[in-house]
Amino acid sequence: MSTPFPPIRRTPTTRRRSALKPWHYMPYVFVAPFFILFLSFGLFPLLFSAYASFFRWELSSGLAGMKWEGWGNYAFVLQLDALPWKQFFTGAFWSELHGLDFWRALYNTFWLGFASGLPQHLIAIPLAYFIHMKFRRARNPAIAMYFLPYITNTVAITLVFSSLFSRDFGVINQVLTGLAHFDVAGVRPLAWLFPDQNIDWGRPEYTRPIVAFIIWWRFVGWNTVLYLSALQTIPKDLYEAATIDGAGLWQQFRYITLPMLRPMILFAVTLTIIGNLQLFEEPFILTGGSGGVGQVAETVAMQMYKVGLTDGDFGTASAVAWLMFMVIAALTWLNNRYLGKKD
Amino acid sequence: MSASTSLLPPVALTPARARRRAWRNPVAWVPYALVLLGAVIMLVPFYFMFVFATHTNTEILSVPPPLWFGDAFLDNVRALVAERPHFWRSLGLSLWIAGAATVLNLFFCSLGGYGFSMYEFPGKNALFGGLMATMLLPAFVGMIPFVLLMKELDWLNTTRALIVPGACSAFGVFLMRQYIGSAVPRELVEAARMDGCGEFGIYWRVVVPLIGPAMGTLGLVTFIGAYNNFVGALLVMSDVDMFTAPLVLRSLQGTGQTPWGAISAGSAITVLPLLVLFVLYSRRLIEGLTAGAVKG
């Protein structure tokens, strides 16, 4: 590779004799900070946790007390021996599986990831399309309103949500029962649709939906911005040609926008998968760190935190971490394979 | 698609008249109404955060709850400080950490972006590919060794632990590479070199003055991210004196009778710097982010 900036044109002979110039080695210095920081604070902990996952290693014992454990930590986390494999096709197997910590946390993580992730994209794509096609002066304020949740402090806003969802004084219950009690001349036209009584949002069956809603709320605007940026790159004349051919807004969306958006959908969904499988903050804060009644909202990341830093069992926590890593890698690969395939 | 079969498209409507006619059709309002409803859902929590911040606990816990601003904000702040005397210190720490992380990121990321965009060197593509790949690595997996590393370095309960590891983000280098590649002419760099400017001097005197907009975007992103960093602080800050603002807010939760007034006031104060930044610079932020994504 030749240097792009030869100050003076040289003949091949003089170039061979020339010494190492600053523009040969300085770029390495310029890009070094990122790699030094990543290797020490990113990659090293990542690989060390892979190593540690094969050891029995507890907070109290320190580095010297690490004992080789082989696949033992993984076996302990997965508990495959404890499962009634013979009843695989009956409910007993699955309820047993759900009783095991790791599998329950994995189920919760998938539940939350799916329930918050899918609506994010299903709403962000049409929203971005609509804003892109129809908004002129109101465009930036509209985007800003949807983007605002993304920049705010999760702790602060999750606490606000938990007060909005209170049973007796929460605004959400007030609105819902208010709509149910709304009456026109003695008739309550909305009573069938809305609850008559205050809903106890603290009950376990509501915990996951609330967490999923908060995550959806935070990230829908972020995804909208991603899709808007991709929409801007679609040539306008494609739409003009389609309009002249008589295609409506829906047909333009279906036959121009969606195919052209495909790379961005792949990218955004990948980000969502990686982010959602590491869910921590929202469920952690909303459930006060416990995972809620019956651990219904305890994610894998929360379990890893609990096992590793609260219980001090580093080996097991590292095994949980790497199982999570493998699930993320597998899903990212699958997503790439199915969304990323060329037609 | 029936119109596609006719040779001439219907051209009788001028765009303005077409728009006026469309507005008379109530069905055409539906998407706008939905967008508006969504925007309201996005804003409602902020509204109630500020409303609750101005009401006493009894008022918040009454039925119906307050829907408009009250006058108890200062009482709430006093209650907050009485409960958590280090609240202001924590807010200061959060601002300091975010500021320091921003300055370091601006410097290291623009330097790295300059290296990647203005030079050719063996291994460049592999290094840049590696940098992009790190964005996909789940950071959570290395959490426990990270905490132990901080302990070995004796960085626990120091602001360094939250500033240094994130001092140069992959996203920042990427953003800067894209921007410098399009905004700084290579001829300018070559001219400076011919005039005897050193490689770092070119960066400092030629490149930096030209990349203000990208610096603005990256600065905002970094500041917001570092200021909001909850998990990092949860991992390395155990000493109450070193709590950042998010940790203090969380510690108020579940202390018997939850002090909603104080929590809301604390939340409002914590979110306020971000809201001010966002109101002032949201265009810069969103356009910068989308431009970066477009070229990627």
Say if residues A140 and A225 touch (Cβ distance below 8 Å). no
Contact A34 B65 (CB under 8 A): no
In angstroms, the CA A98 to CA A104 distance is 5
User: Percent of chain B, pLDDT > 90?
Assistant: 45
Q: What is the CATH number of the domain that holds A85?
A: 1.10.3720.10
* Torsion sign across C-alpha atoms A60, B247, A290, B79: positive
Whether residue B2 has pLDDT greater than 70: no
Give the largest CA-CA distance in chain B.
78
Question: For residue A194, what pLDDT is reported?
Answer: 75
Question: For residue A249, what pLDDT is reported?
Answer: 81
The two tokens of residue A67 are 């004992």
Q: What is the DSSP letter of B9?
A: -
Domain count, chain A: 1
Host domain of residue A266: 76-165+201-339
Q: Return the domain boundaries, chain B.
A: 14-80, 86-252
Could you report the per-residue pLDDT of B106-154, keeping only the tens digit for each? Answer: 999 999 999 999 999 999 999 999 998 898 888 888 888 899 899 889 9
Looking at per-residue pLDDT, the higher value among A42 and B287 belongs to A42
In a domain, A59, yes or no: no
Report the gap between the CA of B274 and the closest CA in chain A (Å).
7
Report the gap between the CA of B33 and the closest CA in chain A (Å).
12
In a domain, A147, yes or no: yes
Nearest to A98 by CA among A239, A251, A298, A247: A298
Helix (H, G, I), strand (E, B) or coil at B93: helix
- Mutation target for A interface from B116, B144, B280: give the one with most A CBs within 10 A: B144
Say whether the peptide bond before residue B64 is cis (omega within 30 degrees of 0): yes
Say if residues B263 and B249 touch (Cβ distance below 8 Å). yes
The two tokens of residue B270 are 């914590």
- Mutation target for B interface from A153, A216, A231: give the one with most B CBs within 10 A: A153
B18 — pLDDT class (breaks 50, 70, 90): low
In angstroms, the CA A99 to CA A93 distance is 10
In a domain, A98, yes or no: yes
Q: Which of residues 207-226 of B touch A (CB under 8 A)?
A: 224
Task: Give phi and psi for A56, each to the nearest 5.
Answer: -85, 120
Question: For residue B296, what pLDDT is reported?
Answer: 40
Question: For residue B3, what pLDDT is reported?
Answer: 43
Task: Find the range with the poorest average confidence among A164-168, B12-16, B96-100, B271-275.
Answer: B12-16
In a domain, A254, yes or no: yes
Find the closest chain A residue to B293 by CA distance.
Answer: A229
The two tokens of residue A191 are 């009573």
Return the C-alpha torsion angle A283, A285, A289, A292, nearest 10: -50
Question: For residue B1, what pLDDT is reported?
Answer: 41
Contact A228 B290 (CB under 8 A): yes
Q: Which CATH superfamily is domain B86-252 in?
A: MetI-like (1.10.3720.10)
- B256 burial via Cβ count (<10 Å: 0-12, 13-18, 19+): exposed
Contact B137 A301 (CB under 8 A): no
- On chain B, the residues whose CB falls within 8 A of the CB of A309 are 144, 147, 235
Contact B190 A5 (CB under 8 A): yes
Q: Considering just the CA atoms, what is the radius of gyration of chain A in Å?
A: 27
pTM for the full model?
0.85
From first to last of its 343 residues, chain A has per-residue pLDDT tens of 445 555 555 555 555 556 788 888 899 999 999 999 999 999 999 999 888 888 887 776 666 777 788 888 888 888 777 777 777 777 777 777 777 888 899 999 999 999 999 999 999 999 999 888 888 888 888 888 999 998 888 888 888 888 888 777 777 887 787 777 777 777 777 766 777 777 777 777 888 899 999 999 999 999 999 898 888 888 888 888 888 888 888 888 888 888 888 888 988 898 899 889 999 988 998 888 787 777 888 899 999 998 888 888 888 889 999 999 999 999 988 888 887 765 5
Q: Which of residues 60-99 of B touch A (CB under 8 A)?
A: 60-65, 67
> Helix, strand, coil proportions of chain A in percent (round to 5)?
70, 0, 25
* Helices then strands, each counted (H, E), chain A: 16, 2
Task: Find the range with the poorest average confidence among A190-204, B9-23, B27-41.
Answer: B9-23
B64 — pLDDT class (breaks 50, 70, 90): confident
Contacts of B261 (CB under 8 A, 6+ apart): B52, B53, B55, B56, B57, B59, B60, B72, B75, B76, B79
Establish how many alpha carbons lie within 13 A of residue B6's alpha carbon, considering only the half-sphere containing its beta carbon: 10
Using a CB–CB cutoff of 8 Å, tell me whether B272 touches chain A: no
Report the gap between the CA of B121 and the closest CA in chain A (Å).
7
In a domain, A62, yes or no: no
> Helix, strand, coil proportions of chain B in percent (round to 5)?
75, 0, 25
Say if residues A274 and B138 touch (Cβ distance below 8 Å). yes
In angstroms, the CA A303 to CA A308 distance is 8
